[in-house]
Amino acid sequence: MQLRKLGATNVSIAPLVLGGNVFGWTADRETSFAILDAFHARGFNAIDTADVYARFIPGLKGGESETLLGEWMKERGNRKDIVLITKGGLEMGKGLKGLGREYLRSACDASLRRLQTDYIDLYMAHRADPSVPIGETLETFDGLLKAGKIRHAGCSNYTADELSAALARADATHAPFEVLQPYYNLIHRNEYEGALESLCRERGLGVITYFSLASGFLTGKYRKPEDLAGKPRGGMISRHLNPSGLKLLDALDRVSARHQATPAQVALAWLMARPGVTAPIASATSVAQLSDILKSVDLTLSRQDLAELEPQ
């Protein structure tokens, strides 16, 4: 397996990043550890999480994913093998949010404690914060870099205008964002393709995509409303149950059959083939599910395959 350079950073990662959003939510401690063990044993090295995972679930407060990941790294003694990616800035409680100087510093420290490590390989602003001057945010990231608490800085969910403004300000005064994490997949393309993708390629940013399987829609398991009963992300998947979405699933079925692969493997291989993508993030709630998605790394799509997956 050939590693990929993460933009202009000095970090190389496997072509698939493990999403940690399910840890402590739809994957309990035992299952999370089994998934992490299997991922690491296969030679993969990058894991993505965030302080807010899984605060959005009733009964959870946030920090569950980072805590489980920290416990796993400590028990396995493998911190040096892992490219650790986490994010901060979304609300963690009353008054605990944003990209201001004081809060961002404390959020980073809290993540370090939960992760039981003294550095984060890639620390990202989870979302732009228009209430804080970009210079203050960049200065704070710069301070975290100089203190050795983080090794690289990045951002998630930034628009082309927001990222352009951040890069322009960084050019003058501070270390820049080096990686973008956009919402991008085979069916949700308009936010990244165009100005944002062009900017990332022009400036040499690494790009790791989230919702790479469209919350599970691109696995092909959900084709009618009744398939979504009881599913945690049913509402997010349902938006794709329309003629264009079902037509895309038909194309995925044809390409998958040609390669004796699954739709999920093809959808991830499509992202890996995109010149503006370093690696997709994908989550798994079982070792069997992980084994399926990891096979995407060995799948090479032909020009015919790629053309067939384009909107008709």
Answer yes or no: is pLDDT of 222 > 70.
Answer: yes
- Classify residue 304 as exposed, middle or buried by CB count within 10 Å of its CB (0-12, 13-18, 19+): exposed
The mean pLDDT value for 9-14 works out to 97
Residues 73-122: pLDDT tens digits? 999 999 999 999 999 999 999 999 999 999 999 999 999 999 999 999 99
Cα separation values, 173 from 9, 84, 116, 137, Å = 19, 26, 31, 12
The answer to whether the beta carbons of residues 107 and 120 sit under 8 Å apart is: no
Answer yes or no: is pLDDT of 230 > 70.
Answer: no
Spell out the residues 6+ positions from residue 61 whose beta carbon is closer than 8 angstroms to its own.
55, 93
Lowest-confidence region among 26-30, 218-222, 227-231, 294-298: 227-231
Q: Which residues have a catalytic role annotated?
A: 53
- The two three-digit tokens of residue 144, written as one number: 């975290």
Closest CA to 295 of 1, 4, 85, 12: 1
What span, in angstroms and rounded, lies between the C-alpha atoms of 126 and 11?
20
Residues 253-304: pLDDT tens digits? 999 999 999 999 999 999 999 999 999 999 999 999 999 999 999 999 999 9
| Mean pLDDT of all residues belonging to the chain | 94
Report the length, in residues, of the chain.
Answer: 312
Phi-psi region of 130 (alpha: psi -120 to 50; beta: other; left: phi over 0): alpha
Looking at residue 83, its pLDDT comes to 98
The answer to whether the beta carbons of residues 135 and 104 sit under 8 Å apart is: no
In order of start, what are the domains of the chain with their CATH numbers?
A: 4-219+262-300 (3.20.20.100)
What span, in angstroms and rounded, lies between the C-alpha atoms of 310 and 157?
24
Answer yes or no: is pLDDT of 21 > 80.
Answer: yes
pTM to 2 decimal places: 0.95
Looking at residue 303, its pLDDT comes to 97
Looking at residue 307, its pLDDT comes to 97
